[in-house]
Amino acid sequence: MAMKAKHQRLILVLAALAALIAAALLAASALKDEAAYFYTPSDAKTKGVEPGKAIRLGGMVVKGSLHRLPDGVTIRFDVTDNKAIVPAKFTGIAPDLFREGSGVVAEGAFDPSGTFVATNLLAKHDERYMPRELEGMTYDEKSHELRKAK
Partner 1 sequence: MHAFANPARFLSIARPLTPWLFWPGLLLLAAGCFAGLFFTPADYLQGETVRILYIHVPAAWLGMSGWTGIAVAGIFQIVWRHPLAAVAGRAIAAPGALFTAICLISGAVWGRPTWGTYWQWDGRMTSMLILFFLYLGYIALANASASSGEQGGVSRVTAIFGLVGAVNIPIINRSVVWWNSLHQGPSITLTGSSIAPSLLWPLGLTLLGFSLLFGAIVLMRMRTILAETRIEARMRRMARD
C-alpha dist (Å) from residue 112 to 64, 94, 116, 142, 150: 25, 24, 9, 41, 42
Pick from 97, 119, 138, 147: which binds partner 1 (CB under 8 A)? Answer: 97
Q: Does 108 bind partner 1 (CB under 8 A)?
A: no
Q: Could you tell me if 58 and 37 are in contact, meaning their C-beta atoms sit under 8 angstroms apart?
A: yes
Q: Are 53 and 109 in contact (CB under 8 A)?
A: yes
Segment lying near partner 1 (by CB under 8 A), choices 44-52, 70-78, 111-119, 135-143: 135-143
Which one of the spans 44-52, 60-68, 69-77, 138-146 is the region binding partner 1 (CB under 8 A)? Answer: 138-146
CA dihedral sign of residues 94, 96, 100, 103: negative
- Residue number with CB closer to partner 1 (37 or 112): 37
The answer to whether 41 touches 49, Cβ cutoff 8 Å, is: no
Q: Shortest gap between Cβ of 36 and partner 1 (angstroms)?
A: 5
- List of residues contacting partner 1 (CB under 8 A): 6, 9-10, 13, 16-17, 20-21, 24, 28, 31-32, 35-38, 40, 58, 94-98, 102, 105, 121-135, 139, 143-146
